[in-house]
């Protein structure tokens, strides 16, 4: 028996898909047949990435910290590509500092992007998913939301919040055919982690049983699985994809 993942006829909206993990997620979902909305803060970049994928991909500009802009992009996607079946809340930022030095602005910015953005987007797509009795919400959290991290109290709080949010959505909408799960990446090589000094990177590597840093494709594979029929009996879970870092 061969198993092929086929998302033909489905539409996916992936926040933060102009770069890094989100871009790879969009690429994989598109390769599996889904129509994909590429979303980032600038239209030109989103259009460029969508054009690189080809037919069935379109770019949408939105700032996830601005609820009106996010709702507008989701509505434009539904008008242009069709009802959203798969929402991946992936856009995220860091504003690291020790707690004693952390400003309220850095706290608010991280919570607004990483947590409130997911709330706004999920709320916006729920009604349509309920009507169609089908939907997949996949939230990109982090191992930091599970074990915490020095210098990342704001980020850890946002990612732990996302886990509680996801479990609540899973309970509220399971009866309507909507599944909600988290993927929790470990250390993945993207722009977000590029600034880490070599010594710190080497020390981190020591803590990873699979002895390599993660790649965006490692996360995209897990998200593709959860978005597909293979994940039909999974809801309210946190799938940790970290090479064994937090076993
Ligand atoms: P990158 O920094 O490489 O990419 C971030 C993406 O989010 C870009 O597409 C960016 O788009 C978009 N984005 C940022 N802020 C906003 C905003 N306000 N509105 C809309 N889009 C925004 O990040 P990664 O790919 O590394 O991370 C993706 C997710 O994975 C994040 O949620 C992150 O917390 C999580 N994660 C990452 C890990 C890692 O090691 N890399 C580990 C654990 C979790 P643009 O700049 O075009 O606007």
For the segment 214-221, the average pLDDT, to the nearest whole number, is: 98
Cβ(231) – ligand 1 distance below 6 Å: no
104: left (phi over 0), alpha (psi -120 to 50) or beta: alpha
Q: What is the pLDDT of residue 166?
A: 99
Q: How confident is the model at residue 4 (pLDDT cuts 50, 70, 90)?
A: confident
What does the pLDDT look like over 112-122, one tens digit per residue? 999 999 999 99
Atom of ligand 1 nearest to the CA of 65: 18
Q: How confident is the model at residue 199 (pLDDT cuts 50, 70, 90)?
A: very high
Cβ(70) – ligand 1 distance below 6 Å: no
Best substitution site from 15, 21, 44 to test ligand 1's pocket, by max atoms within 8 Å of Cβ? 21
Percentage with pLDDT > 70 across the chain = 100
Contact 124, 78 (CB under 8 A): no
| Average pLDDT value for the chain | 97
The yes-or-no verdict on residue 151 having pLDDT over 90 is yes
For the segment 86-94, the average pLDDT, to the nearest whole number, is: 98
> Distance between CA atoms of 187 and 207, rounded to whole angstroms?
11
For the segment 81-102, the average pLDDT, to the nearest whole number, is: 98
Residues 189, 192, 193, 194, CA torsion sign:
positive
> Distance between CA atoms of 207 and 110, rounded to whole angstroms?
26
- In sequence order, what are the residues at sequence separation of 6 or more whose Cβ sits closer than 8 angstroms to the Cβ of residue 127? none
The yes-or-no verdict on residue 59 having pLDDT over 80 is yes
The catalytic residue positions are 155
* DSSP secondary structure code for residue 193 in this structure: G
Q: Which domains does the chain have, with CATH numbers?
A: 11-238 (3.40.50.720)
What does the pLDDT look like over 137-150, one tens digit per residue? 999 999 999 999 99
Cβ(190) – ligand 1 distance below 6 Å: yes
22-26, 160-164, 198-202: which has the minimum mean pLDDT? 198-202
Rounded to the nearest angstrom, the distance between the alpha carbon of 174 and the centre of ligand 1 is: 28
Cβ(63) – ligand 1 distance below 6 Å: yes
For the segment 233-240, the average pLDDT, to the nearest whole number, is: 98
> Distance between CA atoms of 207 and 245, rounded to whole angstroms?
6
Rounded to the nearest angstrom, the distance between the alpha carbon of 184 and the centre of ligand 1 is: 13
- In sequence order, what are the residues at sequence separation of 6 or more whose Cβ sits closer than 8 angstroms to the Cβ of residue 188? 20, 21, 213, 214, 215, 216, 218, 219
Cβ(113) – ligand 1 distance below 6 Å: yes
What the block records as the tokens of 114 is: 């990483």
What does the pLDDT look like over 159-188, one tens digit per residue? 999 999 999 999 999 999 999 999 999 999
CA 146 from centroid of its chain's CA atoms: 16
For the segment 38-65, the average pLDDT, to the nearest whole number, is: 98
The yes-or-no verdict on residue 240 having pLDDT over 90 is yes
The yes-or-no verdict on residue 2 having pLDDT over 80 is no
Rounded to the nearest angstrom, the distance between the alpha carbon of 17 and the centre of ligand 1 is: 8
> Distance between CA atoms of 119 and 222, rounded to whole angstroms?
22
pTM of the predicted protein model: 0.98
> Distance between CA atoms of 6 and 218, rounded to whole angstroms?
19
The yes-or-no verdict on residue 1 having pLDDT over 80 is no
């Amino acid at each position: 028996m061969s198993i092929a993942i086929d998302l033909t006829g489905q539409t996916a909206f992936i926040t933060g898909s102009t770069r890094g993990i989100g871009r790879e997620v969009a690429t994989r979902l598109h390769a599996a047949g889904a129509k994909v909305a590429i979303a980032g803060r600038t239209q030109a970049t989103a259009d460029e990435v969508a054009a690189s994928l080809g037919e069935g991909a379109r770019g949408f500009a939105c700032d996830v910290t601005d609820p009106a802009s996010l709702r507008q992009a989701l509505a434009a996607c539904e008008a242009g590509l069709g009802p959203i079946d798969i929402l991946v809340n992936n856009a995220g930022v860091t504003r690291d500092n020790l707690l004693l030095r952390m400003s309220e602005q850095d706290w608010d910015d991280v919570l607004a992007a990483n947590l409130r953005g997911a709330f706004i987007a999920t709320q916006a797509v729920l009604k349509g998913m309920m009507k169609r009795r089908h939907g997949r919400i996949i939230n990109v959290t982090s191992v930091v939301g599970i074990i915490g991290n020095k210098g990342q109290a704001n980020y850890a709080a946002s990612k732990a919040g996302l886990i509680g949010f996801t479990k609540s959505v899973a309970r509220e909408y399971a009866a309507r055919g909507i599944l909600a799960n988290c993927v929790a990446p470990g250390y993945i090589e993207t722009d977000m982690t590029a600034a880490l000094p070599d010594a710190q990177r080497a020390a981190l590597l020591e803590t990873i049983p699979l002895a390599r840093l993660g790649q965006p494709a490692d996360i995209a594979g897990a998200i593709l699985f959860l978005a597909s029929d293979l994940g039909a009996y999974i809801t309210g879970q946190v799938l940790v994809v970290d090479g064994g870092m937090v076993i």
